[in-house]
Amino acid sequence: MIQQSAPAAPASSATAGDVPAVLPRVALVGVHGFGESHLANLARLDDAGALHLVAVADPTPPEKGTLAGSVAVFNTLDQLLAAGPVPDVVILATPIQTHAPLVLAALAAGADVYVEKPPVASMAQFQEVLAAAESAGRLVQVGFQSLGSLALPEIRNTIESGDIGEVLGLSATGMWLRTRSYFKRSRWAGKRSLDGIDVVDGVATNALAHAVATALNMAGAHTVADVASVETDLYRANDTQSDDTSVIRVRTAAGTTLLCALTLCAPEQQRPSVTVHGTRGDITFFYTEDELVITTADGERRETFGRTDLLENLLAARTAGTPLLSALPDAGAFMCVLEAIRTAPAPREIDTGHVSWEGDGDDAHPVVQGIAALIERATKAQATFAELGVPWVSSLPPVRTFDLAGHPVADYQDGSSIRAVSSPRPYLHPVRTLAGTVVTDHQPLDHVWHLGVGVALQDVDGVNFWGGRTYTRAAGEYVWRPDHGSIVRAGGPSPGEPSAAEGELTENLAWNGPDGAPILTEQRTWTWAAVGPSAWRLTLDFALSPSGNQPVSLGSPGSNGRVGGGYGGFFWRLPECSGASVWTPAGVGESAVHGSVTPWLAWSGGFTGGTLDGGTRTGAVRDGAATLVFVAAAGSTDPWFVRVDGYAGVGQSLAWDAPVIAEPGVPVRRSVTVLIADGILGTEDIETLINTQGDSS
């Protein structure tokens, strides 16, 4: 570790002043680890006549013959500076916790500084160093090398040109693997603090920090003021203090959402990337190779760009006033992320049942099971692992749990954490059988806007309350539009308050457009009750009324011309199901029941999403046989919407092939009951259950 100390005799007879001060005089502090890359770059630039390497400092000097005889060798930066004259530029490639004191010392001596990432280990240190640089009138470049990529201006131009449409958000993906030896390379590796001093090592702050910094740059977030909020979801599979598998969600002051999903526990090393998601296409930047992939309806374009060396950029800034590509003030957004991680609770250990180890001894590395799919799902949904309900996470607390005789059968979520383009809204998930089998899914990879059990419509006077793309008659296809609304509670007692009625939840909800203006009001009531030792009943009643004095059209893709796509209203997204069977009194199979109008529809199979015991997902995932019976209200003419192939879902279409008009003072009312039973039921069992115990009337 490089430490400051009182001046002492240098470790070689050369001094930092032996070279004429014609070219910039550069010193390197820290010659091992990434310092070796700096040495190679310095040798290249020295040979090119761009600078003179005059000195290095490291407690473990480089091997003899590594440096030219004119290069002075010291043990510490203090010794180097005391030997004089002060170098023009000091490069710091030292442990994270040493950055702040070393930068301050170099600035105080009158040098410009190139400091490796992360620049410092806390926001307080950042503000101190920033003030010192401004006071001294010196330059500080931060070693986020990817910010020198010539691809970044091309990305900005592509966004501004509108080639990918409106920006929906950004995601950064990093899947690396690190062995035990990686965390044994130094005392500070894998530490949040060392001897009471902040280190903040971790997947987002060090190993894959370039992914975070590059993504922030692409999102237009540079300074502290550019960041509105940072949320962290931190985990670890290694025996360390720091996180190695995490989600970081940043919301910029401009309203852009950036989701970083990163791990050091992948089965194999993959190229990290940052993607800008647009309404008409995507831009993916593989920053380690400066490769840009632009995908639109017109096809795919790939191009590899060059890169400006950050040290050369710093030298040009000193003489020609060239702007720094990775200036210290522009690391403020990254420091907001680091500070959020530094002050977050310690990362939660991933249960060993979800981790496998590959390799032996110090070459062994952990693999979090299914991590690639989880990271893809998180970035697509802009959701944390906790929000996705991943088995090994600290689950998102529900607003209320529906309980039957000590059995938690459903969790009510208000939808406030759902991304805007998924149309945030209240929903139930997970819903469980009495034995604990989970029979709902939410934010699945195939349709991240599907949310458990609830009410959703894709066309309410042109506003999308379903999420995702919108099907329009004019386009004849699904298109992204800035048309997403949200459904929120509109006053009254909170669903989670102790006064909430047992077995019943009634809410007044507002359906608000993209501008926040109300379009509909809804009164929604959930009721639930046991109907036997292995089955329970869930009933949903809702009434939709215009918020103003004008009629409101309630439509669907089906009413907008998509044949068979009349989904909207009540919808139940099921999880993966083996041996799925779906039937009604009149037919069997998806093609027979989809679009039919019958008193009831049944779904049975083995649900592979695992079981829950007392609200905690078990480590071992196993099939749970269950049957769901969807019972229409008496006199209902709404067709069933059913999907078995592709994904599993059941709904009751409110606007199958024509819109329904909600008139002022005349609410559109709907009711449906679902019987949730353990085991596989037959038609006779179902009719008995409906007639004797589960009659929705």
Query: Counting beta carbons within 10 angstroms of the beta carbon of residue 40, is it exposed (0 to 12), middle (13 to 18) or buried (19 or more)?
Result: exposed
Looking at the structure, tell me whether residues 512 and 656 fall in a common domain: yes
Residue 75, domain extent = 25-146
Structural domain includes residue 538: yes
Secondary structure (3-state) at 649: strand
Whether residues 101 and 29 share a domain: the answer is yes
> How many structural domains is the chain composed of?
3
Say if 324 falls within a structural domain: no
Whether residue 407 sits in one domain with residue 367: no
Q: CA distances (Å), 691 to each of 133, 434, 467, in order?
A: 79, 21, 37
pLDDT, mean of residues 77-92: 97
- Binned at pLDDT 50, 70 and 90, residue 18 comes out as very low
Which comes out higher in pLDDT, residue 620 or 372?
372
Predicted local confidence at residue 377, as pLDDT:
96
Asked if the model's pLDDT at residue 619 lies above 60, the reply is no
CB atoms near residue 686 (< 10 Å): 22
For residues 363-379, average pLDDT? 97
**586 found inside a domain:** yes
Q: Is 66 in the same domain as 213?
A: no
Q: Residue type at 632?
A: A
Question: What confidence tens digit (pLDDT) does each residue in 219-273 have?
Answer: 999 999 999 999 999 999 999 999 999 999 999 999 999 999 999 999 999 999 9
The reply to whether 406 and 378 lie within a common domain is no
- Please name the residues in contact with 61: beta carbons below 8 A apart, sequence gap of 6 or more: 11, 31, 73, 75
Residues 505, 520, single domain; the answer is yes
* pLDDT on residue 491: 75
Q: How far apart are CA 403 and CA 406, in angstroms?
A: 6
Whether residue 138 is contained in a domain is answered as yes
Q: Are 37 and 90 in contact (CB under 8 A)?
A: no
DSSP percent split of the chain into helix, strand, coil, nearest 5: 20, 35, 45
Does position 499 have pLDDT exceeding 60, yes or no?
Answer: no
Tell me: pLDDT of 614 over 90.
no
202, 300: one domain? yes
Given 96, 127, 146, which residue is the final one in a domain? 146
In this structure, are 184 and 156 located in the same domain?
yes
For tokens 């410092």, name the residue.
120
Q: Kindly tell me if the per-residue pLDDT of 620 is higher than 80.
A: no
What is the structure's pLDDT at 395? 77
Tell me the HSE value of 436 on the side-chain side, using a 13 A CA sphere. 12
Closest CA to 629 of 609, 604, 651, 654: 604
Short-list 338, 351, 382, CA closest to 168: 382
Q: Are 452 and 431 in contact (CB under 8 A)?
A: yes
Strands of 504-512's sheet, edge to edge?
Answer: 486-489, 504-512, 518-530, 535-546, 668-678, 624-632, 600-607, 577-584, 587-588
Question: Does the residue 513 lie in any domain?
Answer: yes
For residues 172 and 92, membership in a common domain is answered with no
Instruction: Answer whether residue 7 shows pLDDT above 80.
Output: no
More confident residue, 561 or 64: 561
Mean pLDDT (whole number) for 84-100: 97
Residue at a domain's end among 118, 146, 174: 146
- Average the pLDDT over 578-593 and give the result: 97
Under 8 Å between Cβ of 509 and 533: no
pLDDT digits (tens, 9 = 90+) for 337-356: 999 999 999 999 999 999 99
Residue 593 covered by a domain: yes
Average pLDDT, the chain: 93
Spatial separation of the C-alpha atoms in residues 155 and 149, rounded to whole Å: 11
pLDDT value of residue 252? 98
Boundary of a domain, candidates 321, 354, 385: 385
Does residue 379 sit in the same domain as residue 414?
no
Identify the helix (H) or strand (E) that includes residue 374.
helix 371-381
Residue 119: CATH number of its domain: 3.40.50.720
Count of all residues that appear for the chain in the document: 697
Tell me the CATH number at 243. Answer: 3.30.360.10
Same structural domain for residues 403 and 360?
Answer: no
Does residue 11 lie in a domain region? no
Examine residue 315 and state whether it is found in any structural domain, yes or no.
no
pLDDT, one tens digit per residue, over 19-36 is 444 899 999 999 999 999
Same domain for 245 and 189? yes
